[in-house]
Amino acid sequence: MYDDSPLSGASENPWQQLRNLTPARIALGRAGTSMPTRAQLDFQFAHAQARDAVHLPFDHAALAAGLAHQHRQSLLLHSAAKDRDTYLQRPDLGRRLSHESAELLGQHRENNPDGYDLAIVIADGLSALAVHRNALPMVAHIEEQAAAEGWSVAPVALVSQGRVAVADEVAELLGARMVVILIGERPGLSSPDSLGLYFTYAPKVGLTDAYRNCISNVRQEGLSYAMASHRLLYLMREACRRQLSGVNLKDEAEVPLLAGGVQRENFLLG
């Protein structure tokens, strides 16, 4: 048992009240010249959670079942990285599809020669936990908005051992003019379940990150699904209008406020 109260030898931290406002590791206090026992154990626990998130197997079967329950089709794919160890050591292989998966998409395109307006890809990335917790509700928001815009949507592609750029190959093979990939971000020590959204207009193999727009930290304790889909819709509409994405397409979406439905522009760009 341990006790980190001031009476146990840990010095009281006047910033302690700030910890009620953020999960960041601030105002940890100290015991002499060392960190208090509770803070040290919390750090070790968070580090273990991050490691577990990286190595957690991608449950694509459960995601496919969840999508089917929502009346959405899916395609089970795999990157060129045959296993998790290869994926972590060879990032380049995670950016390309396996030969079998590429052939599967080629066969699908033969039956759908007109292609699609939007392709949605889900990949485990560096946190399958983030995908398991957040992908299905995020897909529901995206497809609802795509339907309102009248955009055709390809079956959801589930890519095991995938990295961000694999979405470009998926979309190119499907003949999609836009693609968004929902992928597990590198776990932080307070956010092992953070989902990232990467959007590309006119996707094709070989594009760099300069051609993509990123919306990060999508999770219950971070950016909400509704706000993430609101920002994504803005990017997709502007991409269609200007026929570009990436560094030349800034996120200037108006952010709905809670009071009275009033809106303001992104304060970072004001």
Chain mean pLDDT for the chain:
87
- Four-residue CA torsion sign, 131, 134, 136, 139: negative
Q: Express each pLDDT in 131-162 by its tens digit.
A: 999 999 999 999 999 999 999 999 999 999 99
Q: Which amino acid is at 162?
A: G
Does 252 have pLDDT greater than 90?
no
Q: What is the pLDDT of residue 259?
A: 46
Does 270 have pLDDT greater than 80?
no
Q: What is the pLDDT of residue 142?
A: 96
Domain annotation covers residue 14: no
Closest to 95 in 3D by CA, of 162, 159, 157, 172: 162
Q: How many domains does the chain have?
A: 1
Does 175 have pLDDT greater than 50?
yes
Domain annotation covers residue 3: no
DSSP 199-214: EEES--TT--GGGEEE
Domain annotation covers residue 267: no
Domain harbouring 226, CATH code: 3.40.50.11240
Phi/psi of residue 197, each to 5°?
A: -115, 125
Domain annotation covers residue 52: no
Q: Which residues pair with 264 in a beta bridge?
A: 255
Domain annotation covers residue 136: yes
Domain span holding position 246: 59-251
Judge if pTM exceeds 0.85. Answer: no
Q: Give the percent of the chain with pLDDT over 70.
A: 88
Q: Express each pLDDT in 111-121 by its tens digit.
A: 999 999 999 99
CA 148 vs. chain centroid, Å, equals: 23
Model confidence band, residue 255 (pLDDT cutoffs 50, 70, 90): low
Does 109 have pLDDT greater than 60?
yes
Residue 2 CA: distances (Å) to CA of 7, 34, 49, 54: 12, 15, 22, 30
Does 94 have pLDDT greater than 60?
yes
Q: Express each pLDDT in 33-88 by its tens digit.
A: 888 888 788 878 777 877 777 778 899 999 999 999 989 999 999 999 999 999 99
Cα 97 to Cα 120: distance, rounded to the nearest angstrom: 15
Assign 112 to helix, strand or coil. Answer: coil
Contact status, residue 169 vs residue 102, Cβ threshold 8 Å: yes
Domain annotation covers residue 127: yes
Domain annotation covers residue 8: no
Domain annotation covers residue 225: yes
- Over residues 231-236, the mean pLDDT reads 96
